[in-house]
Chain A
Amino acid sequence: MVIQLLVAALLTGSIYGLIALGYSLIYRASGIMNLAQGDLMCLGGFMGYTFYNILGLPIFGAMLCTMVSMFLIGCVLERIVVRPIFNRNVSSSALILATVAVSYIVQSLELVIWGGAPLNMKSFLKVQTITFLGVSYQTESLLCIGVALLCMLTLHIFMKKSSFGIAMRAAAMDPIAARSCGINVDQTNRITWAISTSVAGLAGILVGPLYGITTTLGTAMSTKGFASAVVGGYGDMYGALLGGGVLAALETFAAGYLSSSLKQLVAYVAVLIVLFIKPRGLLNVEAVKD
Chain B
Amino acid sequence: MKLWVRATLLTVIVAIGASTVGCNGAASGKPSGNEGASGGDANEFKVGISVSYTGPNAQNGLEAINGLNMALDYINENDGFNGGKAVLATLYDTKGSTEEAVKSAQKFIQNENVNAVIASQVSAEVLAAGRYYDEAGIFTIAMGTSPSVMQKGWKHIIRGSVNYDFVVPEVVSCINDMEISKIAVMKDQSEAALTFAQAFEEKAKEQGIEILISESCEPEDTDLSAQCARIIAADPQAVFISMTSNDCGYFVKQIRQYGYDGIIFDKESFFASMVGIAGAENSNYIIFANPYVTYEKIEDCTIDNMRAFLEEYQERFGQLPTTEIAYRAYDSAMVIWEASKIAGSNEAEAMLAAVPKIKIEGLGGTMDYSNNDGEPYHTVRRFIYVDGVNMDWNEWMESGGYLKYKETTKNEY
A residues within 8 Å of B by Cβ?
1, 4-5, 7-8, 11-12, 46-47, 50, 53-55, 68-69, 72-73, 75-76, 79, 111, 113-120, 123, 128-129, 131, 135-140, 210-212, 214-216, 220, 251-256, 260-261, 263-264
Pairs of residues from A and B, 7 with the lowest C-beta to C-beta distance, nearest first? A115-B29, A136-B259, A255-B226, A8-B225, A116-B54, A54-B22, A211-B222
* B30 / chain A contacts, CB cutoff of 8 Å: 115
Known A-B contacts A215-B55, A260-B227; the reply to A129 vs B257 at CB < 8 A is: yes
C-alpha gap A137/B258 in the complex (Å): 6
Asked if residues B258 and A4 are in contact (CB atoms below 8 Å), the reply is yes
* A215 / chain B contacts, CB cutoff of 8 Å: 54-55
The smallest C-beta distance from A195 to any residue of chain B, in angstroms, reads 14
* A211 / chain B contacts, CB cutoff of 8 Å: 222-223, 250
In the complex, residue of chain B having the shortest beta-carbon distance to the beta carbon of A122: B279
Instruction: For A260, give its contact among B5, B7, B217, B222 (CB under 8 Å).
Output: B217
Q: Tell yes or no: B37 within 8 A of A by CB.
A: no
Known A-B contacts A54-B19, A116-B58, A128-B279; the reply to A210 vs B29 at CB < 8 A is: no
Q: Tell yes or no: B215 within 8 A of A by CB.
A: yes
The smallest C-beta distance from A99 to any residue of chain B, in angstroms, reads 19
Asked if residues A210 and B18 are in contact (CB atoms below 8 Å), the reply is no
Select the stretch in B8-16, B195-203, B302-310 that faces chain A: B8-16
The smallest C-beta distance from B58 to any residue of chain A, in angstroms, reads 4
Instruction: For B230, give its contact among A1, A7, A220 (CB under 8 Å).
Output: A1
Q: Which residues of B292-334 have CB atoms within 8 Å of chain A's CB atoms? A: none
Main secondary structure, interface of B, reads helix
- 18 interchain pairs (CB within 8 A)? A1-B230, A4-B258, A47-B15, A50-B15, A54-B18, A54-B21, A69-B11, A111-B54, A113-B19, A114-B19, A118-B56, A119-B23, A128-B279, A129-B259, A211-B250, A215-B54, A216-B220, A256-B229
Known A-B contacts A114-B23, A211-B250; the reply to A252 vs B225 at CB < 8 A is: yes
* B19 / chain A contacts, CB cutoff of 8 Å: 46, 50, 54, 113-114
Q: Tell yes or no: B254 within 8 A of A by CB.
A: yes
Q: Tell yes or no: B216 within 8 A of A by CB.
A: yes
Q: Tell yes or no: B276 within 8 A of A by CB.
A: yes
Asked if residues B223 and A73 are in contact (CB atoms below 8 Å), the reply is no
Additional 17 contacts, C-beta under 8 A, given A4-B258, A114-B23, A212-B250? A50-B18, A50-B19, A72-B11, A73-B8, A75-B8, A115-B30, A118-B246, A120-B249, A120-B276, A128-B257, A131-B259, A135-B259, A138-B254, A210-B223, A211-B223, A215-B54, A255-B227
The smallest C-beta distance from A11 to any residue of chain B, in angstroms, reads 8
Instruction: For B222, give its contact among A1, A73, A212, A253 (CB under 8 Å).
Output: A212
* B12 / chain A contacts, CB cutoff of 8 Å: 69, 73
Instruction: For A115, give its contact among B23, B257, B258, B279 (CB under 8 Å).
Output: B23
* A119 / chain B contacts, CB cutoff of 8 Å: 23
Most buried by B among A7, A68, A211, A216: A211
The smallest C-beta distance from B319 to any residue of chain A, in angstroms, reads 12
* A115 / chain B contacts, CB cutoff of 8 Å: 23, 28-30, 58
* A11 / chain B contacts, CB cutoff of 8 Å: 225
* B256 / chain A contacts, CB cutoff of 8 Å: 128-129
Asked if residues B56 and A216 are in contact (CB atoms below 8 Å), the reply is yes
In the complex, residue of chain A having the shortest beta-carbon distance to the beta carbon of B257: A138
* A50 / chain B contacts, CB cutoff of 8 Å: 15, 18-19, 22
* B385 / chain A contacts, CB cutoff of 8 Å: none
Asked if residues A111 and B229 are in contact (CB atoms below 8 Å), the reply is no
Asked if residues A72 and B8 are in contact (CB atoms below 8 Å), the reply is yes
C-alpha gap A253/B208 in the complex (Å): 32
Most buried by A among B19, B230, B232, B281: B19
Asked if residues B56 and A214 are in contact (CB atoms below 8 Å), the reply is yes
Known A-B contacts A1-B230, A55-B18, A115-B23; the reply to A212 vs B277 at CB < 8 A is: yes
The smallest C-beta distance from B20 to any residue of chain A, in angstroms, reads 7
* B121 / chain A contacts, CB cutoff of 8 Å: none
Q: Tell yes or no: B146 within 8 A of A by CB.
A: no
In the complex, residue of chain B having the shortest beta-carbon distance to the beta carbon of A7: B225
Q: Tell yes or no: B27 within 8 A of A by CB.
A: yes
Most buried by A among B5, B20, B54, B226: B226
